[in-house]
Amino acid sequence: MTTTTNKQWLLAARPEGEARVSDFRLVETPVPQALADGQVLVRHHYLSLDPYMRMRMNDAKSYAAPQPLDAVMIGGTVGEVVASRHPKFAVGDPVVGMGGWQQVAVVDGNALGLLRKVDTTHVPLPAYLGAVGMPGVTAWYGLVKLCQPKAGETVVVSAASGAVGGAVGQLAKVRGCRVVGVAGGAEKCRYVVDELGFDACIDYKQHKDAAALDAALAAAAPNGIDCNFENVGGEILNAVLRRMNAFGRIALCGMISGYEGQPIPLANPALLLTQRLRVEGFIVSEHMEVWPEALKELGTLVATGKLKYRETIAPRIEDAPEAFLGLLKGKNFGKQLVKLL
């Protein structure tokens, strides 16, 4: 290990309204030169940027504790072991973990779930932050365990060109469903249909009122909607609810339309009753028991080229805040990563 300094992004301030670059602070710290028994030194190659991070920046009640101020921002990472005093990890091992917004991390090799070795023979290392990582398992759990789609049913996925949404649609197609995506922009919709294999995609930027969205959904889902994998909330969710079939299922994964503090009203909650809908929010880290089953299917599909994905990669650690703010506005295409090596 020749690097002696470690660049880290800390949370400097809690956002008021929209997050800004000034809410983060870049620092340099020395890399530890000695490890204690059981510790592993990991050099990160890529950092994953994900919408959940915005919620963690607030000091508000949520499913997890807020991101502490003046601490390294939370985040998934992939990299390689560069020094180890743990028998299960050797120098050169490719690993995935929660190393945060930094180039190097010292990890307790005995801590459950903090670090695991991965096989890069058939699956590229960055994919373990996307299609064969937390986003992929999120897609798998919400679709397979909550929506439980049957062949011939119609599944609607919002944020369909993203890391989670793109995987949801492809997993639903494997199960014989009609899949309709919702995405922002003609290029993203072309990608969703032409590359990911969705049956249709609605460009919400071209349908700016409720009537237009309703008409687009009616055309794309003529038999109604049986399953909804929801990443956005707001007007898109309202339009989907108006089209849901009786006994439909909604996996509530994210509400990114409200992550910067915007209101996300539910226009017609009576539909939940009249259509006898089942709605369930979930956090995939609370369901670790399904990860082996999910990763087996996801890894096989990626390795055989049957699960496609796209990555947007910011080239330097210095670019992480701008890339994150762009992610919140939908500027990324597919999985947003930052190259740290």
- Specify whether 270 is located in the same domain as 164: yes
Same domain, 206 and 243: yes
Same domain, 267 and 150: yes
* Token representation of residue 26: 């870049």
Tens digits of per-residue pLDDT, 12-66?
999 998 999 999 999 999 998 899 999 999 999 999 999 999 999 998 877 778 9
Tokens representing 119 are: 């096989």
Do 116 and 140 lie in a common domain?
no
Query: Rounded CA gap, 25 and 267, in Å?
Result: 39
Provide mean pLDDT across the span 205-213.
93
Are 231 and 165 contacting, i.e. CB atoms less than 8 angstroms apart? Answer: yes
Structure pTM? Answer: 0.92
Cβ(80)–Cβ(107) under 8 Å?
Answer: no
Number of domains composing the chain: 2
Handedness of CA 100, 104, 108, 112 (dihedral sign): positive
pLDDT of residue 197 exceeding 90: yes
Task: Based on the fold, state whether residues 252 and 202 are members of the same structural domain.
Answer: yes
For the cut 90, the answer to whether the pLDDT of residue 157 exceeds it is: yes
Identify whether the C-beta of residue 217 lies closer than 8 Å to the C-beta of residue 191: no
- CB-side exposure of 65: number of CA atoms within 13 Å? 5
Q: Which domain holds residue 322?
A: 5-130+310-339
CATH code at position 112: 3.90.180.10
Query: What is the per-residue pLDDT for 1?
Result: 43
| pLDDT value at 240 more than 60 | yes
Percent of the chain whose pLDDT exceeds 90: 89
List the single range of 45-49, 80-84, 117-121, 264-268 with lowest mean pLDDT.
Answer: 264-268
Placement of tokens 């028991």 in the chain? 289
